[in-house]
Each structure stands twice: as C-alpha cells, then as structure tokens.
Structure 1
Amino acid sequence: MEFKTYLVRRLTAMAVTFWGILTLVFLLSRVVPGNPAAVIAGAKATEEQVQRIRAEYGLNDPLHEQYIDFLTDLLLHQRIGQSVATQRPVSVELAQRFPATFELTTTAVVIAVSIGIPLGIASAVYKDEAIDHGSRFVAISGVSVPQFWMAILAQLFFYSYLGLLPSGGRYPDNLAKPVETTGLYLIDTLLAGYPVGFFATLEHLALPAIVLSLGTLAQTTRIMRSSMIETLNTDYIEWSRAHGFRGRIVLLRHALRNAVMPTITAVGLSYGLLLGGSVVVEIVFNIRGLGLFLYNAVITSDFNGILGVTVVFALGYLIVNFLVDVTHTYVDPEIEVGE
C-alpha cells in the first residue's frame, strides 16, 4: 500500500472514531441523572419556569432531533450551545480556557522528556547499579501514587512549609498581566519583553506541571531503559564495539538513534492523554483550564459544557495519535503500512 493511501485510510479511521466518541458522549449526557433546566432556573423556580427553559434549550425535542442539531451546530458552525453553568457560549469558554491547559500539558511533557530520556539511558548503561535502582523507584512511584495526593503533598511542602512556590493559579494577582496575544502566559510575557511576568508564570506553573509530568516521566524512563538495553545487545552494536568505536560514539550515534523511537512514540500518545488527564491537577491548583471547567460542568449537569470539553480532549488525542503514527511510519522504513 502506498503511503498516500495509508494516509487517507488513517484520516478516515480518525474521523469515524471521532464521530463515535461524539455520539457516545452525547447519549451519556442525555441519560445521566440531573436536571440542567432546574439548575438554570434556580432553587425557587416554578415548574412552569423549568419547562420554559427546557423548551428554550431544546430538551423537550426528540432525542434524534437533539442529536442532529448538535452535529449540525458543531460541524457546520463550530458551536456547542450555551453553558448552563456560566450562561456563556461553550465555544467562548473553551477558547479562553484551552491555553491554560495546553501550556500546563506541554510544560509537563517537556519536563518528562528532559528527565526521563537521560534517566532511562543512564539506567540501561549502568544496569543493576544505584542509578538503575533509583530510576525504577521513580518509575514505580510515578505510576502508583495518586495524582491528587502528590498535588496536595507538593502544596504542603513547597508552599506551606518552605514558602518557595505559589499554591495555585496561573499568575500573581498583584502583578500586571501582559497583552494576551496567544493566551499562553510564558509566550505572551516573552513577546511583551516582560521578564518579571515570565518568571512569575514559571513559579506558578512549576508545581502543577511537575505533578502532572510524573506519570509520563515514569513511562518515558521505563520504555527508554528497556529499549536501550535491547538495542545495546544487538549485533551491530557489538560489531561497533569490536571495531574500536568509543563507547560514547556507540551510545549516542548508533544506539540512541534506534532506541529513542519507541519512547518518542509513547510520549506523543501520552501527550494526547495528558490533555484529558489534567482535570485533577487543575482542580487542586485552581487553574482555570479545561479540566476545571469540566469539573464544574459535571457538578452542575452542564451537558453542553461536558460535550464541549470532550470534543476538545477527543480531537486533541486523535490528532496527536495520528501525527505520531504517520510520522513514525514515514520516518521508519521498516514499518509496513499493511493492507
């Protein structure tokens, strides 16, 4: 199969998967307990007022009509209705909150890759020595300790006891904000030539990004270690050593090039998952991103808000998955696209 044909098939599969996710979440949002119309109307609203709001939001329409309206608004007009909780268009809420989640997730991935790959290489080179045992401890801790528990411990230690880092938020309340060109405070402060704001953003981002990165860091370290050990035991590495190549050249020029590819693939997929996995971290650290918006949407039975966040999370994961898969297939000639 040619690469272009494979590309078309992957895009088609991604579109079908996205449609299936939208359909499933739409159905779940309509059958879960709760009365969003009563939430909008308030505790003292009469039944007549509740029914009027249900009619306004189309909740009295047949389910198939609600589904068609939902798909039409989403695909043709990029609208997901109005948020029950905030009384604002969901698309506006998503646009304002996405940069916070994207900045947090990207920083977490950078931390995981910057530490995990070197740690995995060192663990493979010095197998069964102290650094290898330490990396195993990091990997096990990263995947076994609950994220909310790590977030609370980080707040207690670095904020309450040491007073080194802020307990939450994205930016100090007493500091002037830069012009929001991208919504990403790290980039906006750099574009504005505002170093004070840049370092203030880093301080607020440090704890939540580190906590969010732990799972991906553990996975990156474990996969890099296993892949490097396997690569170092291959025939061509033994041949390189036998012909007098120095250890560093063999490690960096030959072994690393082949060992790092599975790790990069896993990190790419983890990046897509982290977009949806930031909910707990955003709640604990009070970051006004998609995760916190989703939490409030669930609490208030805001079905439009739940649908909107799910669309972003699902689309983000599918796009990252597609890019990683296609890039890996294109770069590595040994991978067969198959029939």
Structure 2
Amino acid sequence: MSGGGRLLARHPLARFLLRRTAVAVLLAFGVTLVTFVLTNVVPGDPAAANLGQRAIGDPAVVDQFRKQHGLDQPLPAQYVTYLGHLFQGDLGESQQTHQPVLTDLATAVPATLELAGAAIAVSLVIGVALGVVAALRRDRLTDQLLRVVSLLGVSVPTFWLALLAFYVFFYQLGVAPGSGRLAPGMAPPPYVTGLHTIDAALAGQWPVFWSAAGHLVLPALVLTAYTVGLLTRFTRSAVLDVLGQDYVRAARAKGLPGRTVLLQYVLRAALVPVVTIAGLAFGALLSGTVLVESIFAWPGLGAYAYRSATTLDLPAVMGVGLVVGIVYLTVNLAVDVLYGVIDPRVRVQ
C-alpha cells in the first residue's frame, strides 16, 4: 500500500473529508447547471429589461443585444460556453454595471461576509451562553424569561426590526451612524480582503477602522437578534439532552467539579447539533440579508442580487447563485471538519 493509502487507512476522518470534498466538487457542477437553467427559464426578456423603450422597438438593436450576450444560441450551447468561461475565471459581464461580474462580486461578497461574520460571532457567544444558562435553570424563572426572549428573537420580522432600529438609534437618538459602510466622504482603505475593518487595521488607518466598525454595529445587531434566539433554543435543547446521559451522571458521581463536568462532558457533546445550526445560520446570513442591506444601504451580496434579479441581469444572477451555492458547500464542509474536532467518535468511526 502506498504512503497516501496507509495515511488514509490510519485516519478515517481524512478519508471521510476526502469523500466529502469530492462530493462538494460534483455538487458545485450541479449548482452551475441548476442556476443556469432556472435563470434562463424565468419569464421575461433580458433585452426588454435592459434596453430602453425606443431601443426595444428596433429589431436590429434587439438582435445585436442578443448576439452580444450569446442569447441567440440554444440553451445547451449557452451552458457549454458558460462553463468554458467559468473555468477561466470569467463569470461574464454585468448588463447593468458593464463590469465583469467577478469584479462586482469582489466588492459585494466581502461586504456581506463582514456583516454576516460579525453577526454570527456575536450570536454564537450570546446564544450558546444563554442556552446553557436556560438548560441549567430548567423550568425556573430564568429559563422562562430566556425562552420568551428567544421566541421573540425568532418571531420578529428582521426587516421590521431593521427599520425600527434605524429610526430609533439613528434618526431619533443619533447614537448610531447612518447608512453605508463608511462615513460620507471617507475613502475606503487599501483593498486586501475587502473587509473594511480588517483592511483599515492592516493599513493603520484607525479613523477608517472606527468608522467601519461603527457602521457595522447596528445592522449586525439586527441580524444577531434572530440568530441568537435560534441558537439559544437549540443549545438549551442539546444541553438538556446531554445532561440526562449516563456518563454525565457518572462524572458527577465521581465527584468531578461542576465546571469540569459542564465544559468537558456536557458542552462538548452538545456543541455538535449547535455547530450544525450555526453553519446553516451563517449560510443563511450570507445569502439572505437583502432586506437589511437595502434598509442600511449596505452594498453587499443581497442588494446586488436584488438589483440583478429585477433587471434580469442574467450573468450577475448566475454569479450570485454560484456564490451562494459555494457558500453552503463550504459551510457544510467546515461543519464536517468541526464534527471531528469536537466529537472523538467521528474520528474513530
């Protein structure tokens, strides 16, 4: 057996991850096919959506537009051409911005990633902590209050909460900055990651950093409200399930400190379902922040997808669909890796 084969035989987790990576690559091809087909079968004519009223009445102009964007070819030929360009890193040209879709996404994706990353980080800290407290104080007043708060968090519409937060904290109280990612007239930091907070810190531009961080707080907290409620409820349920296991009772019977039992026995086992929910929530934040981004004028993936869909900008819509699909595949792969880190049984099986 070769060295690589022996390595995979000794490490079942490595073999599992190799299979998952191969499946993810195949699913990525499926994402391109589904995105392409659904984008091209929706009712509407891209030429009518992108050309003016006078131009749409000129058959020569319409034919030129369709030929320029490859819309005069059969769908199978268009898909093969799309794949060929995709392998070269070319997602096409946006019919609205007249820039490469990859250039537009290089600006929109980091903006959403910064917003969703801040929201999920805060949500994990608060949601897991509240869920553990609720489980340890089961059926007491603290548990009842936290269950009500978490229910409100998952029930309140995010767009309504965003409007309310913007009106109260910006318009009425003036304690939060306005819309956008930076203060008006402030230039973005040199592009490294596309995340203004990180790029400003790397460049040592601290006024830009604090402006970017300040603009990030309110929309991130709005997104956090729903995710905290979700994580609190799932963490409580997972911790309660683990607390009833025999090995937890055995650990307590041996006289181990309560903190040791909680951190090493209860919380570690309960984190497996919590990580699954957190991964799904993070993927949803990256792909579903269109209303919050619109309210706060945040130039992210959601706002870009909305503009592209309303104008039938097919290359941009397919680019967004591909990004969203890759996000979910990447998140699922990362969750699988965390399973092996958290639960030793995954590394053994």
Q: Same fold (TM over 0.5)?
A: yes
Is the contact between residue 275 and residue 317 of structure 1 (CA under 8 Å) also seen in structure 2? no
Which range moved further: 163-172 or 56-65? 163-172
Query: Which of 131, 136, 157 matches 2:147?
Result: 136
Aligned: 1:29 with 2:39: yes
Is the contact between residue 272 and residue 318 of structure 1 (CA under 8 Å) also seen in structure 2? no
Aligned: 1:47 with 2:59: yes
Structure 1 unaligned regions, length at least 5: none
Q: CA shift at 1:330, angstroms? A: 5.9
Query: Which of 67, 76, 90 matches 2:79?
Result: 67
CA distance in 1, matches of 2:186, 2:278: 35
Question: CA distance change for structure 1 residues 151 and 78 in 2, over 3 Å: closer, same or farther?
Answer: same
Question: CA distance change for structure 1 residues 126 and 117 in 2, over 3 Å: closer, same or farther?
Answer: same
Query: Which of 272, 289, 298 matches 2:300?
Result: 289
Q: Which residue of 2 aligns with 1:83?
A: 94
CA distance in 2, matches of 1:156, 1:293: 24
Which range moved further: 275-284 or 325-334? 325-334
Q: CA shift at 1:331, angstroms? A: 4.9
Q: CA shift at 1:200, angstroms? A: 1.5
Aligned: 1:208 with 2:219: yes
Q: CA shift at 1:304, angstroms? A: 0.7
Question: CA distance change for structure 1 residues 193 and 4 in 2, over 3 Å: closer, same or farther?
Answer: closer
CA distance in 1, matches of 2:49, 2:231: 44
Q: Give the alignment's TM-score, normalised by structure 2.
A: 0.90
CA distance in 1, matches of 2:32, 2:53: 31
CA distance in 1, matches of 2:65, 2:311: 15
Q: CA shift at 1:208, angstroms? A: 1.1
CA distance in 2, matches of 1:312, 1:289: 13
Question: CA distance change for structure 1 residues 337 and 52 in 2, over 3 Å: closer, same or farther?
Answer: farther
Q: How does 1:117-156 map to 2 (within 5 A)?
A: 117-156=128-167
Q: Which residue of 1 aligns with 2:106?
A: 95
Q: CA shift at 1:154, angstroms? A: 1.1
Which range moved further: 144-153 or 14-23? 14-23
CA distance in 2, matches of 1:168, 1:18: 35
Aligned: 1:240 with 2:234: no
Q: How many residues align?
A: 337
Aligned: 1:165 with 2:176: yes
Which range moved further: 156-165 or 323-332? 323-332
CA distance in 2, matches of 1:19, 1:54: 26
Q: CA shift at 1:164, angstroms? A: 1.1
Q: Which residue of 1 aligns with 2:3?
A: none
Q: CA shift at 1:176, angstroms? A: 4.3
Letter aligned with residue 312 of structure 1: V
Is the contact between residue 6 and residue 337 of structure 1 (CA under 8 Å) also seen in structure 2? no
Give identity over the alignment, percent.
39
CA distance in 2, matches of 1:322, 1:231: 25
Q: Which residue of 1 aligns with 2:281?
A: 270
Is the contact between residue 37 and residue 53 of structure 1 (CA under 8 Å) also seen in structure 2? yes
Q: Which residue of 1 aligns with 2:68?
A: 56
CA distance in 2, matches of 1:84, 1:4: 43
Query: Which of 291, 294, 300 matches 1:280?
Result: 291
Aligned: 1:187 with 2:198: yes
Q: Which residue of 2 aligns with 1:229?
A: 240
Q: Give the alignment's TM-score, normalised by structure 1.
A: 0.93
